[in-house]
Amino acid sequence: MVKLNRAIKDIHITDNADDGKKGVHPISWLLVTIVYIIAVVSFSKYNIIGLAGMVLYILIQCIWYEISVTGMIKRIWPVFLFTVLLGIANPFFDRTVSAGVLSMATLVLKGIFCVAASYILVVQTGIRQICYALHIMRLPKEIVTVLLLMHRYLIVLLKELERMQLAYKLRAPGHRGLHFRTWGSFVGLLLLRSMDRAGEVYESMKLRGFNGTFQMFSGKYSHIGSIVYLIVWGAAILTMRLFPIFKMAEVAIWQILR
């Protein structure tokens, strides 16, 4: 129940997290994230030291924009489990066991970094500004509208789920979770109720002039700041991709120590 409530809150927070408060245009955020994800994915499966250097982007973003690291870890925890499951067979099927462990660790890191970067993007810009950026990038308006409507529907669905779960728990205080016998009717009813509610929301939108396209508008952004952000981060990510930062740092530290 608490988890569900927190999920609804999280989604609301990502509704329009930024709207220009941080001065960076969403298209810069989006492009930097895309460049970062491409860079992360492009590492070979044994280059774990090079890949590890990419954590700097995540850390600097978290420190600079005061994003809670523990909050982020809590939210991307399932991705860790999922990637571990995906790579669990690697030690047995790769060239050697140690190579397999290495490739599994790389896979896990790649998954975590990509999701963490996406998380930072959503938390910093909000879904509406991301869609605005996609709209500027000439993504078909139908796709942008569907993305926004899916986001709306998700909220409606979760709210209905919260109500139904509360009603269930109040009448089944001893149960841990839903009894399997009620799963069918519960899910069916949930879908029907959320569709009804979504229908009402859509009616409300139509009555206020909605014609199938969300009106996109830009917040107040600093153009120079956005360009600087894009160039600096783009260059930094490429540097991290091309040069193994941690390896170089290790060599430098050894030289200093000598």
Partner 1 sequence: MADIEMKDVNFSYQKGRQVLYDINISVERGKSTGLIGANGAGKSTLLKLLVGLINGYKGTIEVLGQPVEKKNLTDIRKKVGYVFCDSESQLFMSTVYEDVAFGVRNYGYSEEIVQKKVMEALHKVNIENLKDRQIYRMSGGQKKLASIATILSMEPEIVLFDEPTIALDPKNRRNLIGVLNGMSETKIIASHDLDMILDTCEETILLSEGKLICKGKTEDILKNKELLEEHDMELPLCMQDRRGK
86, 139, 177, 203: which one binds partner 1 (CB under 8 A): 203
Site for partner 1 in 210-229 (CB under 8 A): 210-211, 215, 217
Instruction: State the nearest-atom distance from the C-beta of 176 to partner 1, in Å.
Output: 27
Tell me which stretch binds partner 1 (CB under 8 A): 25-33, 133-141, 207-215, 221-229.
207-215
- The H or E element that residue 239 is part of is helix 223-242
Residue 197 binds partner 1, judged by CB under 8 A: yes
What tokens were used for 40? Answer: 């992360």
110, 135, 152, 241: which one binds partner 1 (CB under 8 A): 152
Name residues whose C-beta falls within 8 Å of residue 223's C-beta, 6 or more positions apart in sequence: 25
What tokens were used for 188? Answer: 């069916």
Query: Residue holding tokens 């989604």?
Result: 11
- By CB under 8 A, the count of residues binding partner 1 is 21
Residue 250 binds partner 1, judged by CB under 8 A: no
Residue 1 binds partner 1, judged by CB under 8 A: no
- Residues 220-248, buried b or exposed e (16+ Cβ, 10 A)? ebeeeebeebbeebbebbeebbeebbbee
How far is Cα 23 from Cα 187, in angstroms, rounded to an integer?
43
Instruction: State the nearest-atom distance from the C-beta of 238 to partner 1, in Å.
Output: 35
Residue 9 binds partner 1, judged by CB under 8 A: yes
4, 7, 10, 16: which one binds partner 1 (CB under 8 A): 16
3, 95, 208, 258: which one binds partner 1 (CB under 8 A): 208
4, 7, 10, 15: which one binds partner 1 (CB under 8 A): 15
Residue 207 binds partner 1, judged by CB under 8 A: yes
> With contact defined as beta carbons under 8 Å apart, do 97 and 91 qualify?
yes
Instruction: State the nearest-atom distance from the C-beta of 10 to partner 1, in Å.
Output: 11
Residue 23 burial (C-beta neighbours within 10 Å; 0-12, 13-18, 19+): middle
What tokens were used for 60? Answer: 């600097």
138, 209, 254, 256: which one binds partner 1 (CB under 8 A): 209
N- to C-terminal Cα separation, the chain:
58
Residue 204 binds partner 1, judged by CB under 8 A: yes
* Backbone φ, ψ for residue 84 (5° rounding): -60, -45
Residues contributing to the site for partner 1 (CB under 8 A): 8-9, 12, 15-16, 152, 159, 197, 200-201, 203-211, 215, 217
